[in-house]
A and B are shown apart, each in its own frame.
Chain A
Amino acid sequence: MFWLLKKNKRGYEKILSMYWFVMIFIVVAGVFTCLAIYYSSSISVRNAELDLMLDRIANCIDPNGYIDSEFLIAIKNNEEFSERFLEKCSLNIYEEKTLKVNSKKLQYYIKISLDSFNIQANTQSNLGMLELGDAVIDFDCSINNKQNVREDISICKTKYLYLVDKDNNSYIAQILVGVSKTEYA
């Protein structure tokens, strides 16, 4: 290339304009690559889904400012409550056959742990737990390290809810929800 620079003024200008176009081409290629990467990646709404699910569950187990009695009795007596809970909260945690999934698949995981809470003594004792959905999601979440940054692994969120019953007894519910839907990433 050095011999080109030795040319007269005219030739030197031509070389400069050639470099100018090479530069523009590199910039255009860079912009295009960035755009292609940005727009080809899917939009993730899983975090928003989990927030909505947490709100739905919270409103469902605490409908009028008091803990739902049916839910409380079922947890205390360790009764089978899964199907009734889904029906009561209008939840569908199954994904029917879609274009991406070839069979009925569990896409969500819900775990509600209920503790009775004594404010005066500041003591807490576990009353029971309700677990629904695919437990593998819970395991995946531990890999995702609760940071919810990896799109190829399930994500989870936890919410603590302070509840009271009509007799003014206090409870603490730990609600954990997880979503898979990794095939959309």
Chain B
Amino acid sequence: MVFLDLDMGIRGVLKNKRGVNILSENVIFISLNIILLFIILASVYSKIGGASSIEERYAKGIALVLDSAISNTEIMINMEDAIKIAKKEKFDVNKILIISENIINVKTSDKGKGFSYAFFSDYKINSYLNEKGDGYVLVIEKK
């Protein structure tokens, strides 16, 4: 409880009747709350933006794109998130997406093996980094 008294002035804000310093206690209390909130946000951010979940999302998403594609088409895939992580990890951005036979591999660092997923379309697929460097171009041709 804060007792504001004109005679007491600023002293009243800092101390209550018993002379206990209440300002510092409140500051500590609020700071701890902010720290806890920060921990929650940090954990949420790390879980959402984790490299492994991004690799999985891209691999499965691209597999669905290729499964729904028809031959003789070119598809541009925006992979900004994966490229950002790869650059941070100093990984070659040209090697993020590798398609061999009917397996897609998305890898954003040298540490792991990336995420692989199979698709059922039997097409000849050529993939390369686009000119802007923020995505990949998939060229789909009939075998």
Contacts and interface: CB of A to CB of B under 8 A. Distances in A.
- Interface SS, A side: helix
B53 to A, nearest CB: 6
Contacts of B64: 45, 48-49, 52
Interface in B21-69: 29, 32-33, 36, 39-40, 43-44, 47-48, 50, 53, 56-57, 60-61, 63-64, 67-68
B132 to A, nearest CB: 27
Contacts, number: 84
B18 to A, nearest CB: 7
Contacts of A98: 103, 116, 118
3 closest residue pairs by CB, A with B: A92-B122, A95-B118, A39-B47
A115 B114 CA distance: 46
Interface of B: 18, 20, 29, 32-33, 36, 39-40, 43-44, 47-48, 50, 53, 56-57, 60-61, 63-64, 67-68, 71, 100-103, 105, 113-114, 116-123, 142-143
Interface residues of A, number: 36
A90 B71 contact: yes
A114 B39 CA distance: 60
A95 B103 contact: yes
Given A35-B43, A43-B57, A52-B64, A99 B116 contact: yes
